[in-house]
Amino acid sequence: MKANFVGGVVAVAVILALAAYGSLFTVYQTKQALVVRFGEPVRVITEPGLHVKIPLADTVITVDNRILDLENAAQEVFASDQRRLVIDAFARYRITNVLRFYQTVTNIDGANSRLSSLLNAALRRVLGGTRLDTRNAPISRDSMKGV
């Protein structure tokens, strides 16, 4: 009888420990978190530390709080004078509103995809209207070396 009681107490203690472990999560200083319950956002956590969630019902989505970068592959752009340019561009961005980020692009890959198309369009728009007339370019000391 005593062995069954001790075994039951151990089983209850293990279940309580697993429930406590499943209900606690940590937000680091370089992260922000969004708690989602069954697919619906519940709360945004921007403060680092130990936080509580409902086990099995809540999931925690963490997003980097630091400056993120997007490197665009080299692409060919034609200037307005029909010169071909090979452009290698990059962008830096930061996620300031985790809830809006989750609702619009869901993850970093979605954000990079959307920002990449915006960056390509902006590069083509700006460089497509630019003339590259090198005949009237100012002469610098560096360009005179070796002459």
83-127: pLDDT as tens digits: 888 888 899 999 999 999 999 998 999 999 999 999 988 888 887
- pLDDT number for residue 109: 92
**What pLDDT band is residue 140 in, cutting at 50, 70 and 90?**
low
Q: 8 or 93: which carries more pLDDT confidence?
A: 93
Least confident of 2-16, 103-117, 130-144: 130-144
Q: Determine the 3-state secondary structure of 33 from DSSP.
A: strand
**DSSP letters spanning 52-114:** E--TTTEEEEEEE-S-EEEEPPPEEEE-TT--EEEE--EEEE----HHHHHHHT-SHHHHHHH
Q: CB under 8 Å, gap of 24 or more: what pairs does 109-113 form?
A: 112/70
Identity of residue 113: S
User: What are φ and ψ of residue 47, in 5° steps?
Assistant: -90, 135
- pLDDT number for residue 144: 42
pTM of the predicted model, to two decimals?
Answer: 0.69
